[in-house]
């Protein structure tokens, strides 16, 4: 795990400023606290911040040069099959001077060119400069575990693991992208390939970007296929699923530093811990997060698994004072990001880093094996469409009139609003957090004009229409993998872990495992009302019954209660501040109403209020100019020490 940055002035040939490049690396120091590297030669430059995981020697430092001295690379992530690739390359006569996966990547490129991407099994974002071809190659892993941003300017292209690195360039003006902010309000994250910063974009997952001969070329090198299907017996399918998951866990245990696991108490992370315990002699180190509010607390289930496998178990309880993290969260997440579970994930990563440098997690199981409530709701909605149409409006009116502020009531309202919609629009509604009618009431005409009257639901709806596979569940899973997984969940974990110099690994995101799951018929994933049917069958002998059979709880935080308590005054003061209202985004009377109704428990507007609060703090931190802050737009707490988070 690392932070990478660089630029190529392919338009003008102007020399790269090493001071700017060094500043970009400094703003990524949290991603790589173990060292830094810089290389500049004329119009090209690469910067690297190192988190040492495999081959801790200085020989593995980056930017790393290939056997051909004209080729250099900076890599963020891990190539899990580097030993197998190394053996193949040695058989072809290749020599190696390190034990690192980065050198294997260089050799694989020398042997196969850009096609080497199809041979890599891992999570990665890298930038490779091929001086012989005058080619810059930017590439990102299949599911988007590792981020990679870029921007074009008059000189050429700059790139970095996080967009805040661009703040080191005095020529970069941090301006908001109105259309991206509109999408953010709907989804609570900014969908790829754009970003909240005007002119800044992301290399999409499973894509590479080549800059060569003055031209840019963006290509996709992998897509998850849901056809043809493999028709196995349930016993054979369960056995193969477990074997593939076991292999995915095994190859993620390679590290030259201490290693552990996030244990939520859900089936995915519990299965990972069980297989880690099976693979090793020493007790697995496990880390769990909990809450004082019982509705949100999963610690009892995590303890069942920890006791069964005798893990070295550590727990952390998140209390309302965790909201003091908010400025740090806004800084580290770079863009407006309103998934409030980031608070818990950030704290969990902080706790875990005190003990280990690598942590495995259960991320990705829901997207491959149908674990979300909306997967079941979507199937039921298709079957009951004719029945629900006559009663949908009266029932929606009744739910709207009922008091209630919990997340279950909010989810029920959102589900009901989507019934009767075409499948694509229904899925978009269920994956969003701001009702279109309320969004129109909340935002000003000025803001809507700036977005081009954007219908943000169409982002997911159109992606749904393009999804491969005739089966409704396959289409739903495909869209989760294409959008929600890389743009929300993986952003949350990458930022939270890398903020503390912790590497997160996700066995369920192994592309070979995902390909197997995609090839299975829908009935093995969603059986009746049972989500993740095949996984539950495959791991039943490994886990306590209550962990397998309990309803999915989801990883949430009690932000609804905090916004009535410890956060109430802050939300009121920030959202009704003249500075906020003068941006012209939101209508003051509607903001006041949401604050008042939430405070009195009339309605639960916590998701909406949290997103507004995060957006305003993002503006103040990254967009508003403050001369006293040192480098442009950087918080005063970072003045003279870009490696320290506020």
Classify 633 in phi/psi space as left (phi over 0), alpha (psi -120 to 50) or beta: left
Residue pair 601/403 in contact by the 8 Å Cβ criterion: yes
Cβ atoms of residues 265 and 368 within 8 Å: no
| 3-class DSSP state of 403 | coil
Q: How far apart are CA 434 and CA 373, in angstroms?
A: 18
Cα 199–200–203 angle (5° rounding)? 130
- Token pair 């993002």 is found at 618
Catalytic residue of the set 2, 40, 251, 517? 2
- Please name the helix (run of DSSP H) or strand (run of DSSP E) that holds residue 572, with its range, or none: helix 568-575
330: three-class secondary structure by DSSP: helix
- Structure letter (DSSP) for residue 15: P
Which residues are 3's β-sheet partners? 49
Q: What is the DSSP letter of 121?
A: -
165, 179, 424, 426, 530 from 461: Cα distances, Å: 33, 17, 5, 8, 26
* Tokens linked to 225: 């296929």
For residue 22, what are the CA distances in angstroms to 18, 25, 52, 200, 342?
A: 6, 5, 19, 20, 29
Alpha-carbon separation of residue 15 from 19, 41, 131, 158, 171 (angstroms): 12, 8, 15, 13, 15
Distance CA 165, CA 169 (A): 8
CA atoms within 13 A of residue 134's CA, in its CB half-sphere = 11
**Strands 312-318 and 285-291: what pairing?**
parallel
Cross-strand pairs, 127: 74, 138
Answer whether 638's CB lies under 8 Å from 646's CB.
Answer: yes
Quick check: is 2 catalytic? yes
Cα→Cα distances 39→17, 137, 240, Å: 11, 16, 46
Place of tokens 């496990």: 286
Token readout for 545 is 């019954």
In the three-class reduction of DSSP (H, G, I as helix; E, B as strand; rest coil), residue 587 is classed as coil
Spatial contact of 162 and 169, defined as CB atoms under 8 Å apart = no
Q: Read off φ and ψ for residue 206, nearest 5 degrees.
A: 60, 25
443: DSSP letter? B
598-603 contacts at long range (C-beta below 8 A, 24 or more positions apart): 598/405, 598/560, 598/563, 598/564, 599/563, 599/564, 599/568, 601/403, 601/405, 601/564, 602/403, 602/405, 603/403, 603/404, 603/405
Q: What is the DSSP letter of 358?
A: E
CB 481 within 8 A of CB 517: no
* Strand, helix or coil for residue 137: strand
Place of tokens 């590290």: 255
Give the 3-state secondary structure of 217-253: EEEECCCCCCCCCCCCCHHHHHHHHHHHHHHHHHHCC
SS3 259: strand
Annotated catalytic sites, by residue?
2
């Amino acid at each position: 795990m690392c932070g990478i940055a660089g630029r190529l002035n392919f338009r003008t040939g102007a020399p790269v400023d090493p001071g700017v490049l060094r500043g970009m690396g400094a703003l990524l120091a949290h991603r790589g606290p173990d060292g830094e590297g810089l290389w500049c030669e004329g119009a090209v430059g690469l910067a690297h911040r190192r988190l040492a995981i495999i081959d801790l020697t200085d020989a593995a430092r980056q930017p790393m040069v290939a056997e051909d001295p004209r080729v250099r690379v900076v890599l963020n992530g891990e190539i899990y099959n580097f030993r197998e690739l190394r053996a193949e390359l040695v058989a072809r006569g290749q020599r190696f001077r390190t034990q690192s996966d980065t050198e294997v990547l260089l050799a694989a490129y020398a042997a196969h060119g850009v096609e080497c991407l199809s041979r890599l099994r891992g999570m990665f974002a890298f930038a490779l400069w091929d001086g012989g071809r005058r080619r810059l190659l930017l590439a990102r892993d299949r599911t988007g575990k590792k981020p990679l941003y870029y921007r074009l300017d008059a000189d050429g292209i700059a790139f970095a693991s996080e967009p805040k690195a661009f703040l080191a360039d005095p020529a970069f003006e941090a301006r908001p992208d109105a259309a991206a902010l509109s999408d953010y309000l709907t989804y609570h994250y900014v969908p790829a390939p754009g970003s909240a910063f005007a002119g800044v974009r992301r290399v999409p997952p499973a894509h590479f970007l080549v800059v060569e001969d003055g031209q840019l070329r963006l290509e996709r090198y992998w897509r998850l296929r849901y056809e043809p299907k493999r028709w196995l017996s349930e016993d054979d399918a369960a056995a193969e699923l477990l074997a593939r998951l076991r292999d995915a866990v095994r190859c993620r245990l390679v590290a030259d530093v201490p290693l552990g696991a996030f244990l939520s108490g859900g089936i995915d992370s519990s299965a990972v811990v069980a297989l880690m315990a099976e693979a090793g002699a020493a007790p697995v180190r496990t880390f769990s997060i909990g809450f004082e509010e019982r509705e949100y607390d999963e610690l009892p289930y995590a303890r069942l698994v920890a006791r069964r496998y005798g893990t070295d178990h550590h727990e952390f309880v998140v209390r309302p004072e965790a909201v003091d993290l908010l400025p740090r969260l806004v800084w580290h997440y770079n863009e407006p990001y309103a998934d409030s579970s980031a608070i818990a994930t950030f704290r969990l990563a902080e706790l875990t880093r005190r003990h280990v440098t690598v942590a495995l997690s259960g991320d990705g199981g829901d997207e491959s094996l149908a674990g979300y409530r909306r997967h079941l709701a979507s199937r039921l909605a298709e079957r009951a469409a004719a029945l629900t149409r006559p009663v949908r409006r009266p029932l929606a009116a009744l739910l709207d009139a009922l008091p209630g502020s919990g997340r279950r009531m909010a989810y029920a309202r959102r589900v009901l609003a989507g019934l009767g919609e075409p499948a694509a629009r229904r899925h978009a509604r269920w994956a969003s957090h701001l009702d279109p009618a309320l969004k129109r009431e909340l935002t000003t005409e000025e803001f809507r004009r700036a977005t081009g009257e954007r219908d943000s639901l169409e982002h997911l709806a159109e992606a749904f229409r393009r999804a491969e596979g005739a089966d409704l569940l396959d289409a739903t899973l495909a869209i989760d993998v294409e959008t929600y997984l890389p743009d929300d969940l993986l952003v949350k974990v990458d930022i939270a872990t890398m903020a503390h110099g912790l590497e997160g690994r996700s066995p369920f995101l192994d592309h070979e495992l995902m390909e197997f799951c995609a090839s299975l018929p829908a009935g093995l994933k969603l059986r009746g009302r049972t989500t993740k049917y095949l996984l539950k069958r495959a791991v039943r002998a490994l886990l306590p019954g209550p962990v397998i059979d309990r309803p999915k709880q989801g990883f949430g935080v009690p932000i609804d209660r905090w916004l009535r308590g410890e956060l109430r005054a802050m939300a009121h003061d920030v959202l009704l501040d003249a500075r906020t209202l003068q941006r012209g985004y939101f209508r003051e009377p509607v903001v006041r109403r949401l604050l008042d109704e939430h405070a009195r428990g009339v309605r639960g507007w916590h998701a909406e209020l949290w997103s507004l609060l995060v957006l305003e703090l993002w503006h103040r931190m990254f967009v508003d100019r403050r001369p006293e802050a040192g480098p442009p737009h950087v918080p005063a707490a970072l003045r003279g020490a870009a490696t320290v988070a506020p």
